[in-house]
Structure 1
Amino acid sequence: MTNPGSYALPYDGEAPPPMQMMEMLYGALATQMISVAAELGVADALADGPRPVAELATAVGADEVALFRLLRGLAGLGVFTETAPREFGLNPLGETLRSGVKGSMKEIAQDVGGRTRLTAYAELAHSVRTGEPAFEKAHGTSMWNYLQTHPEEVALFGKAMGNLASEAHSVAFANYDLSDARHLVDIAGGEGWLIAAVAPHYPNLKATVFDEGHVVHAAGELFARVGIADRASGVAGDMFESVPAGGDVYVLSSILFSYDDPEAGKVLSNIREAMDPGGRILILEPVLPDGNGPHPGKLLDVTQLALHRGGIRTVAEWERLFASCGLKLAETRVMWPAGPTDMIIAVPADQ
């Protein structure tokens, strides 16, 4: 007989399809729960060890009962752990919601779970029916134009991309040697996080981050903080018009998947024209695999469908795109699941 207050599963092993579907349908709620915990700073408040929920609620400015229910739900998802009745602490997943730690996903959680994105995702059916971005249907303008008029969201987006970049770059460049590079140019590199992560390992490497002025202006402070201000700088401009000349390594990190082939091809053609002889382009994006297996690129592809006009490309699609701009695929380095991105290496077609 089952003891009072306990329950027994009526089956062993994998849940039946309806229950699996139920779990998937509540995935959006899980995103919101994680995002709220990140916004409140729960993980930061637990950095020194587990705390009773009453004390934690005061620290983060939340209702005690509501916070308990949130954290109980997140503990069930493996994000936090209930160390004692009504007391919670961090585990490896919860650690990723702390500020300023290696592998931090805090700002990404806030950005992905934010109202702006969720409003766009609610219009996904529009994208599927028309091929047009759901974001434009929801907000009346493109995501890039929207961000230009919402500085607080630009700041959050920049930090989120910095979180992702630091993790992606540490994996992507761990086994990629840049000792022969003279001048690295990071196209649409925001505040310069990639250069700040890579350049300190190569004392003879000159580096330039290139992006719009309202973003790249912060690069100088970052470069000074990591001790590379004497050989790294920020340049403002529009990558669809031109890019800085004279680089032998150009990097595009999580950029081209937001643009369709004509736009992406324009950027690549500008780089092809600007690069020094013997140069190469390193593209950090997931490469879409074949088959039915799970892969983050498949979900990111639908994200791009909703937010922009681009998508995640297969190897064959990269080859076609490169051929249209006088380039060729030199190598593909698959990083997943060690990191959130892969590396696609392109060189001039005549090289």
Structure 2
Amino acid sequence: MTRLPPTRVVRAATALRTALQSLTRRMAPPEVCLLEFASGFVTTHAVYAAARLGIADVLADGPLTADDVAAEVGSDPDATHRLLRACATFGIFREDPRGLFRLTPVAERLRSDTSDSMLPVVLMLGDPAYQRPWGRLAHCVETGRPAVEEMFGMPMWEYLDEHPEFAATFNDAMTRLSALDWPTVEAAYDFTPYSTIVDIGGGHGQLLARILGAAPLAKGVLQEREALAGDAEEHLRAAGVLPRCRIEAGSFFETAPSDGDLYVLRRVVHDFDDGQATAILTNVRRHMPRGATLLLMESVVPPGNTPHFAKTLDLDMMLFVGGRERTEREFATLLERAGFRMTRVVPTISTISLVEAVSTGGQL
């Protein structure tokens, strides 16, 4: 298991970083701060352009001039130099006095051939299909309706079904983000007491495979829509856990496996408003055996002005699917409505927390 620093150490470091950022903002004129905030999109698109061109892969073997990079990726030399120079101000690439550009530790994560690559996530965040709805944020706030439905004429999930190229980009990013969370989840939660672990809405099975790797005596059940469940078998086989697994196709609004003692939902309920989320959780509870545990892997919104990824991810949910991130109190209320009692919230050193609950009524 990856050795990670204690949560309290990471939180202290994050608090220090936040304090330094706040101090920097207070030292700058307010108009300068606003200009920096409003021009943040430039960073997104510069990093996306570098990712699309594969510049990090070209620089993996050593520093090159902008002309050499351009020759490798098939781009205009002058424009390539200007892009590299801008990215270097963000700490992505570094230019030396001889005009040679090299990778920084941040740029290493843009390579396509490393296990810790963030390339799939950057390619999703900069994709025009992802960027366009953000331009409608003000209208979304005015109407309270997802921008995607208005712009594309269909809900996000239907858009993904009808646009396989962006769906592939989206799914690759979700897989990478799941892998990014996993070491922190494994360090914070013990899965070994459970004999049958059910992953509801588990996609292609990557999370379930990792959980079963951490709980070698457990069996696993994956429930997913039929369109996605078909690919899960190959992923579970490649991970060496298929003999311990069962795959069930079905909607989490309608059914759930009935033989688990731990039911896991990773970033499922944040895709839905309170009514739909309650319906999902109620359905799961109806199928859970008495004494089983529910585990939600979700971001938890902290109180006050504390910076947290959940507060910006909440806007993403509002724009794309009409879902929301929730505070600890909101999770407790949501779970109570669905017939659960929240037992604890386990923080991790990443942006995800583990919300644990038990049924107050047992299987119906």
With normalisation by structure 2, the TM-score equals: 0.88
Q: Which residue of structure 2 aligns with residue 7 of structure 1?
A: none
What's the CA shift for 1:12? 12
Q: Does 1:151 align with 2:151?
A: no
- The aligned amino acid for 2:191 is L
- Within the candidate set 228, 240, 243, 1:227 is matched to 240
Q: Which residue of structure 2 aligns with residue 344 of structure 1?
A: 355
What's the CA shift for 1:84? 4.8
More deviation, 165-174/205-214: 205-214
What is the CA–CA distance in structure 2 between the aligned matches of 1:107 and 1:228, rounded to whole Å?
25
What's the CA shift for 1:350? 5.1
In structure 1, the gaps of 5 or more residues are 1-10
- The aligned amino acid for 1:328 is R
Kindly tell me: are residues 49 and 226 of structure 1, through their superposed partners in 2, closer, same or farther at Cα, counting changes over 3 Å? farther
Q: Does 1:203 align with 2:242?
A: no
Instruction: Give the fraction of aligned pairs with identical amino acids, expressed as a percent.
Output: 34
What's the CA shift for 1:24? 0.9
Kindly tell me: are residues 55 and 176 of structure 1, through their superposed partners in 2, closer, same or farther at Cα, counting changes over 3 Å? same
Matches within 5 A, 1:106-185: 106-185=119-198
What is the CA–CA distance in structure 2 between the aligned matches of 1:79 and 1:302, rounded to whole Å?
26
Matches within 5 A, 1:41-52: 41-52=54-65
1:214-233 Cα shifts (integer Å, max 9, x gaps): 22222222222221121134
Kindly tell me: are residues 24 and 13 of structure 1, through their superposed partners in 2, closer, same or farther at Cα, counting changes over 3 Å? closer
More deviation, 306-315/40-49: 40-49
Q: Which residue of structure 1 aligns with residue 17 of structure 2?
A: none
1:152-193 Cα shifts (integer Å, max 9, x gaps): 111111110010000112211223111111111111121111
What is the CA–CA distance in structure 2 between the aligned matches of 1:45 and 1:140, rounded to whole Å?
40
What is the CA–CA distance in structure 1 between the aligned matches of 2:361 and 2:284, rounded to whole Å?
15
Residues 120 and 139 of structure 1 are in contact (CA less than 8 Å); yes or no, is this contact kept in structure 2? no
More deviation, 93-102/66-75: 93-102
- The aligned amino acid for 1:131 is G
Kindly tell me: are residues 40 and 233 of structure 1, through their superposed partners in 2, closer, same or farther at Cα, counting changes over 3 Å? farther
Matches within 5 A, 1:8-23: 14-23=27-36
Residues 219 and 233 of structure 1 are in contact (CA less than 8 Å); yes or no, is this contact kept in structure 2? no
Residues 108 and 117 of structure 2 are in contact (CA less than 8 Å); yes or no, is this contact kept in structure 1? yes
- Within the candidate set 247, 254, 257, 1:244 is matched to 257
1:289-341 Cα shifts (integer Å, max 9, x gaps): 11112111110111111111111101111111111111011111222xx2131
What's the CA shift for 1:100? 5.2
Residues 191 and 214 of structure 2 are in contact (CA less than 8 Å); yes or no, is this contact kept in structure 1? no
What is the CA–CA distance in structure 2 between the aligned matches of 1:175 and 1:145, rounded to whole Å?
35
What is the CA–CA distance in structure 2 between the aligned matches of 1:224 and 1:323, rounded to whole Å?
37
What is the CA–CA distance in structure 2 between the aligned matches of 1:91 and 1:233, rounded to whole Å?
43
Matches within 5 A, 1:325-336: 325-335=338-348
Matches within 5 A, 1:86-97: 86-97=99-110
Residues 251 and 282 of structure 1 are in contact (CA less than 8 Å); yes or no, is this contact kept in structure 2? yes
What is the CA–CA distance in structure 2 between the aligned matches of 1:33 and 1:173, rounded to whole Å?
34
Q: Which residue of structure 1 aligns with residue 299 of structure 2?
A: 286
Q: Which residue of structure 1 aligns with residue 116 of structure 2?
A: 103
1:227-277 Cα shifts (integer Å, max 9, x gaps): 112113433221111122211111111221110011111111121122222
Q: Does 1:31 align with 2:44?
A: yes
For 2:27, what is the secondary structure of its paired residue? coil
What is the CA–CA distance in structure 2 between the aligned matches of 1:13 and 1:294, rounded to whole Å?
16
Whose helix fraction is larger, Structure 1's or Structure 2's?
2
- Within the candidate set 307, 313, 316, 2:320 is matched to 307
Kindly tell me: are residues 100 and 160 of structure 1, through their superposed partners in 2, closer, same or farther at Cα, counting changes over 3 Å? farther
For 1:51, what is the secondary structure of its paired residue? coil
- The aligned amino acid for 2:282 is S
Residues 95 and 104 of structure 1 are in contact (CA less than 8 Å); yes or no, is this contact kept in structure 2? yes
Kindly tell me: are residues 208 and 35 of structure 1, through their superposed partners in 2, closer, same or farther at Cα, counting changes over 3 Å? farther
More deviation, 262-271/200-209: 200-209
- Within the candidate set 215, 220, 229, 2:228 is matched to 215
CA RMSD of aligned residues (A): 2.0
What is the CA–CA distance in structure 1 between the aligned matches of 2:62 and 2:210, rounded to whole Å?
30
Matches within 5 A, 1:80-91: 80-91=93-104
In structure 2, the gaps of 5 or more residues are 1-23
Q: Which runs of 4+ in 1 moved over 4 A?
A: none
